[in-house]
A and B are shown apart, each in its own frame.
Chain A
Amino acid sequence: MTRYVLWRLLQGVITVWFIATVTFFVMHNLPGDPLADDKAVSEKIRANLEEKLGLDKPVVEQYFIYMRNMIQGDFGLSFVHENRRVNEIIRDHFPVSAILGILAIVIAGFGGILWGALTALYRNRWPDIVIILLVILGISVPSFVFATVGQLVLVTMNNLAGFEVLPVAGWGTVAHMLIPALVLGLGTMAFLTRLMRTSMLEIVSSDFVRTAKAKGVPMAQIFSRHQLRNAVLPVVTVLGPSIAGITTGGFVVENVFGIPGLGRYFVLAVQQNDYGVIMGTTVFYGAFLVLMVILVDILYAVIDPRVRLE
């Protein structure tokens, strides 16, 4: 077990290094000038800016400098937010994205498992048909539509109620989190529902369910102990990447609801050619994703005794 975890962690470090290297060189070949702005500046000032940000050195040298700093945990300066360190940006904004992400994944996970189990239970009857219709909607409608519609619903609700039922935008209390987390988790929830349904139906016709029935185990017990527990496995598998996807994919929701998360920085940095923030957030999210996948693999062994961590 310990050896397995250590081995996976080493693999993870190599993966993160690979991500960092590829991002670094791709980023430096991106079209667009990171230092260009509305007002043109003289050659002298430009040279000074390049020197300050280390852009005057050859790219390979910049790479080694960056790697050395990164190993020491220093992601350098943001190009756009001139006086802020990328470390500070991640420290300030990642917790917000994480909170939103955790809530979204909990909604998606629980919702997906429950709805999935329910559809399997009532296969081809009206609860199944209604939920599957909603699932198709949830998978195919992009999150910015959900976000906009969600906010409009809030506006209408607050105006009809005459007082603030839930805030329209902003961040800081439980009330601010509910709708954005729901909107963020909706797509994943729909996806997990479908996954859960398929997996449940597969298990209904498996040998061990038949055996359990044959020896007279009560149906409710078969359902919860044999079917549900086994059917949940594939859901757990995709949960890891989903967590990372949701935490990083919050850009649209953060934008519409005015939430100070890291997703906004992650996306805007690419448009603004903010090398410091592009590198910092990509490496950070890369490491986060790798860690989540490792965690899920370990969790897998806990849920399914057949899996041995070797």
Chain B
Amino acid sequence: MTDTTQGAAEPVSVSSAWQLAKYGLVGLLFFVLLLAMLGWVTSYSAAGTRSTQAVDYATNTITLALSTEPPQLDSTRATDMVSGMLLGHTMEGLLRYGPDNELVPGMAESWDMDENGGTFHLRNDAYWSNGTPVTAHDFVFAWQTALNPDTASQYAFILFPIKNATGINEGEIEPGELGAKAVDDHTLEIELEQPTAYFLKLLAFPTYYPINEEFYRSTDGGYGAEAHTLIYNGPFKITKWVHDASLRLEKNELYWNRDQTRLDAIDYAYILSDANATLNLFATNKIVYAGLNSENLDRALRNRWHIKQHNDGSVFFLEINHRPDRITSNYNLRRALQLVHNPSELVYKVLKLPGNLPGESIFPVWLNGVEGRFRDEYPGPKYIINEEKAREHLAMAIEELGVDELPPLVLLSGDNPVSNKQSEYYQRLWKEKLGIEVKIDKQIFKLRLEKMTTGEFDIVAAGWGPDYHDVMTFGDLFASWNLNNRGRYANAEVDRHVAIAQSSSDPVERMEAMDRVQQLLHDDVAILVQYERGSVYVSDDRVKGVTRRAVGLDPDYTRAYIASDSED
């Protein structure tokens, strides 16, 4: 039956195929029409990416990709790297970091500081991008807003050196009582809670940027959510922000130091989290910069691109849980882990991404000390591997804990390829060297944070990035009062030295106190430092004058320029 039908159909299948081809053609025509229509609708809504090259000589513009959409650009509440980078290009505090990472005058032309505070003289030629002058009131307003408990700023703590700041943030003191007063439009007086040697360095941080009160109120709660609900006092201004698609910076002609801005525009034409896709854009000359990871490094090598390295300033460490109900509160167990801890092996044989440095101290190598680098002046203790001694300590730990066999250690870690590699390395290392079983608890970001806060871990792979260029940005991390001390490490001696370094104005005394802290953290095995993170990237060599920093605005394009062909 089927056979006869099939047989009968065959001679005419040609005409049927023609019929089908006709339908196909109609379909194709319909599709093209639809495409044209939708294309028109989209271009009409102006959400588009302009098809420019990475470097555009005619318009003096460079094109880049952002890795994520900034959640919002309200400087009192910004916390992430992308927001910080964009704010650094479009806003300016009293001071800013210069090309050689030194502090240079920003909105403040000059200042007189002593132990208890200081007076800042604002320049007369500083304007917001809407033409209103930048005044001392703008700073007072921004700081009071950030400290107001209703704002719920995560970075309020960075303002705490100012008198009454802590009290305001806790809702006990009125914001008007803040130790920062506008004497007149161009004079700002700051009173400190206690001497703070590194206060000037804080002034370049986004939370310290000014906000114009009148404009802020006019946005009716939407400040920083769109390009038009912001005004700018920095080298660039945001002229277009299409959420999750693109963001464009153009030179701010009202910026006081506009002569040093050499690019006319920076076009973040793509918002892309996919590292391979970003590299594809670089490969086709669409963007001037792309970060590399261990997966696509090979491709960059094969293409013989010029691969560059940069120390991004952060330190990664295994944070140990010191809560008394955890076995890791046992010193001998921690000491045993420390005696097999080998950061070089981790960096060179496991992570294998150029740029990472084996870790030794919570204080990274680039931090400044008294005169030179802190770690040159105070090298700190080193990890010495001794398996035999490690096993002795382990035996002592087992006896002290009163168990026959150690229960498995819970290693809390992130859920990404780098974290996986690391966790598996430690699992193998501790099993092989010490016979300790490890249970890896892999969690996405929010879940990991929750477990870190509630203490559901023995060891967690953690990291810390600097906020300002002073040892204190790492130094107080393991003070017992620090909420970011998720392992609840508490040592009165560490606390005492942190307090000294916070309030002393004598650089030598401060650095010695910090040296004691790094020594104590090591001796007590508070943490196991893993590595200082480096990043590897490719960038267009036609763009010059880009500053990379471990702390502060990075990458800094405020002085960048496109090299003319003759300069190449």
Contacts and interface: CB of A to CB of B under 8 A. Distances in A.
B35 A103 contact: yes
Interface residues of A, number: 82
A171 B446 contact: no
Interface stretch (A4-12, A42-50, A129-137): A42-50
Given A173-B51, A176-B49, A260-B245, A82 B286 contact: no
A103 B34 contact: yes
B16 A93 contact: no
Nearest to A176: B49
A53 to B, nearest CB: 10
B27 A114 contact: yes
Contacts of A154: 280, 284
A173 B42 contact: yes
B149 A39 contact: no
Interface string B439-458: 00000111101100100000
B568 interface: no
B182 interface: no
Contacts of A287: none
A187 to B, nearest CB: 18
B9 A204 contact: yes
A299 interface: no
Nearest to A100: B38
A310 interface: no
A29 interface: no
A84 interface: yes
Interface stretch (A16-24, A30-38, A234-242): A30-38
B408 interface: no
A170 B43 contact: no
A255 interface: yes
B104 interface: no
Nearest to B15: A220
Contacts of A173: 39, 42-43, 48, 51
Interface stretch (A116-124, A288-296, A301-309): A116-124
B551 interface: no
Nearest to B271: A258
B71 A170 contact: no
A178 B35 contact: yes
B170 A152 contact: no
A32 B415 CA distance: 14
A255 B50 contact: no
A122 B14 CA distance: 10
Interface of A: 31-34, 36-42, 44-46, 48-49, 52, 80-84, 89, 92-93, 95-96, 99, 102-103, 106-107, 110, 113-114, 117-118, 121-123, 148, 151-152, 154-155, 158-159, 164, 167-178, 204-205, 209-210, 213, 218-220, 223-224, 228, 255-260, 264-265, 271-273
Interface of B: 1-2, 5-6, 8-9, 11-13, 15-20, 23-24, 27-28, 30-31, 34-36, 38-39, 41-43, 45, 47-51, 65, 69, 71-72, 74, 77, 79, 149-150, 152-157, 169-171, 221-225, 229, 242-246, 269-274, 276-277, 280-281, 283-284, 286, 444-447, 449-450, 453, 483-484, 486
Given A45-B153, A83-B224, A173-B51, 10 more contacts: A38-B154, A40-B483, A40-B486, A45-B169, A82-B77, A83-B74, A169-B277, A170-B269, A220-B12, A271-B445
26 contacts: A31-B447, A37-B449, A45-B149, A83-B223, A83-B224, A84-B72, A106-B34, A110-B30, A113-B23, A155-B284, A159-B283, A169-B270, A170-B51, A172-B47, A177-B39, A204-B9, A209-B5, A210-B5, A213-B8, A218-B15, A223-B19, A223-B20, A258-B271, A259-B245, A260-B242, A264-B244
